Amino acid sequence: MPSYQNNQIGMAALMLLLASASPALAQRMDADQPISLIEDAPTAEAAINPDNKAGQIIAPAVQVMGDDQAPDDAAGQSPDISAADDSLANTSAAYAQVSLGRRKISEVGLAAIGVGSDDANDRGLDAMIWRGTSASDAVFLLEKAAVISHSKALTDLSYRVVAKQSVPPSGANLVAAELVAARLAWLARAGRSNDLAVLANQLPDSPRWTSWKRWLVEHELMMRNDAAACGIVGEQVAASLDPFWHKANVICHAVQGNAGGARFAADILAANGVEDPVFFALTREMLTGVPAENIDPNTLDTMHIVLMDVVNRSIPLEGLAVLPSQMAQSVVQLKFLGEDARMVSTFDGLSRGLIDHNQVSKLWRNAGPVDGDPSLALAQLDGESTALTTAMAWRAIDADASDQRLSRVVAAMAVEIADGNGALMLPLYAELIRDAISDNYAAADMRFNEDGVAPKISMLLALDQPEDTSSIEGFTDNDDALRAAQLLQITDSGTVQTGVISDLGMWSLVPVLQAAGAVLPDQDWFTLARDSALTRQSFTSLSPVLLGALAQSADNRRVAETVLLANWLMQTGPLEKLNPNDLAHVITALRTIGQDDVAQAMTREILRAHLLDRFAAGMTDGTAS
């Protein structure tokens, strides 16, 4: 018999023995084995991460991989969801709890899986959101449209639509697997790990979904949800020769306090020819407490990252590159990310809408000591705007105690606006402004300074929280800030003076305001036409075909279809660059399907984008606004 076949038979027999052995038996066998490829240690149990105990549940988890991936992918390797989705910022954490239906279902009910909601109407989304849409059209939209648009409000709505448990589209029973695979892939590209976890836990037990189950185990271990992860591993390890499950079994034994069983399982893997030096080095560190040496960060895979977090070993920035986009929501939960990795993963989570600004500021402040020069950090940000330089600049200014702190806030925001991150970073820098002016003496000095910073600071505060006009009323030269606050509040008040629109130069946005329901006084448009500056404005038009499809879907109350088409359109470009007439059609469509809150939020996003652009232009030409 060929040696290969002998090894396979031996592997099968030993794996079945290992899977069936009790922890006590595994420990006895470990004690009887003189040949150990993992070094024994008298205090092995104490070396295991005490924070990662069985039964510790942090959050639900999920496995996200496409249907076209073989169930026997190499252990620990998560295939990419999209070839284009290769940026470092594919790696972040929402903490919402959701209620699950049945954990496992048959293929018959596959198309109906989803995230449930305690809210019967889920903010305007009922169980019939796919009514009128065919399953083939749904698959087309999920596969065609990218996941993140330039409207956060619309992107968040799209997440809820795709994840929501609802009546499936018509004909879904014929393409149930394809439909679910498309939903999973869409949510994976978006990094929605928690929603994916809910869906993956409802998938049937079949080879088609094996890769999702593997991902789910890795995710659960990252989330310190060891009981759920090891429950899946226990089911699989007795029936599979795939080294992935037996590697996971090593970790499960360890985190459950069975160091002997972990050593035995690792020895079995090594004896059967499994080659993974990094895994065995980290396993030895987990069991003995002796740090592994010479680990090349470029050789890491997802299972290695899990092990590094278990042994409290700092995970480097390079380690994020190996994590697929479907890990984005869970990676922020890792306790032992290195400083740079923490900053980058946090920014990625913010940009994806997976964590909020309060969480970001806490995570960045706790990432490590700040010893950088704020001037140098600003220069690095201006030279190359990345997730890392953005985080470093904010942290440096946050720690800056000099009288230049607020002027540096203004400079940083100008760079972020130019790089397309203005709306994203505005709340974080507004937080630093409020911290700075909380001191009465500092506030008085800043509000009445003569270097032109005060009106800029008041404008940033107005753009961030337009309802809080009391915070900007004490600033000098705050007229534009007060006008901006009034314009942004139009989504609540429904009215605005034409003088505000004129003074801010926002006449081009009148179609957006009217689509949102604002009531405007009559205006002599021919008089405005005499202003060459107003008539010269150029914008990027949205696709007429997609706009037609959007209007048709909205008129026929095809809710999910309308939302995904709108999100597709909003990927065309930054909000301040898009034709306001076209944007008005999108807002009208959202209101037609009952999503008035999202329409209002999107209107405010458009107004804020134009005002931020005006702010940056004022910085360039030296004006106060």
What confidence tens digit (pLDDT) does each residue in 72-112 have?
333 333 334 443 333 322 222 222 233 334 434 555 588 89
What is the tens place of the pLDDT at every residue in 510-536? 999 999 998 887 777 787 787 767 777
Within-domain flag for 88:
no
Whole-angstrom Cα Rg for the chain: 28
For residue 472, is it within any domain? yes
In a domain, 480, yes or no: yes
> Burial level of 184, CB count in 10 A (0-12/13-18/19+)?
buried
Alpha carbons 224 and 366: distance in angstroms, whole number: 20
Higher pLDDT, 24 or 259: 259
Domain residue limits at 479:
374-488
Residue 4 resides in a domain: no
- In tens, the pLDDT along 312-335 reads 999 999 988 889 999 999 998 899
Tokens for 252? 């499960």
Could you report the per-residue pLDDT of 544-556, keeping only the tens digit for each? 999 999 999 999 9
Q: Distance of CA 425 to CAs 50, 393, 421, 438, 541, Å?
A: 37, 11, 6, 20, 27
> At how many degrees (to 10) do helices 193-200 and 210-222 cross?
130
Beta bridge partners of 164: 115
| Residue 440 located in a structural domain | yes
Cβ neighbourhood burial of 86 (10 Å; 0-12, 13-18, 19+) = exposed
Does a structural domain hold residue 448?
Answer: yes
- Rounded Cα distance, 479 and 38, in Å: 71
The answer to whether 298 and 56 have CB atoms below 8 angstroms apart is no
List b or e across 493-514, with b for residues whose CB sees 16 or more CB atoms inside 10 angstroms.
Answer: eeebeeebbeebebbebbbbbe
**Quick check: is 531 in a domain?**
no
**Residue 343 falls within a domain, yes or no?**
no
Mean pLDDT (whole number) for 186-203? 94
Q: Is the dihedral of CA 52, 244, 211, 340 positive or negative?
A: positive
The pLDDT of residue 473: 82
Structurally, the chain folds into a number of domains equal to: 1
For 118-162, the pLDDT digits (tens) are 555 667 799 999 999 999 999 999 998 678 899 999 999 999 999
Residue pLDDT, tens place only, 247-292: 999 999 999 999 999 999 999 999 989 999 999 999 999 999 899 9
Helix, coil or strand: residue 134: strand
Residue 55 near residue 225 (C-beta atoms within 8 A): no
Alpha-carbon gap, residue 4 to 389, rounded angstroms: 51
In the predicted model, is pLDDT for residue 22 greater than 70? no
Q: Is the pLDDT of residue 442 over 90?
A: no
Q: What confidence tens digit (pLDDT) does each residue in 59-83 have?
A: 333 333 333 333 333 333 333 444 3
Q: How many residues does the chain have?
A: 625
Mean pLDDT score across all residues of the chain: 82
Q: Largest Cα–Cα distance in the chain?
A: 95
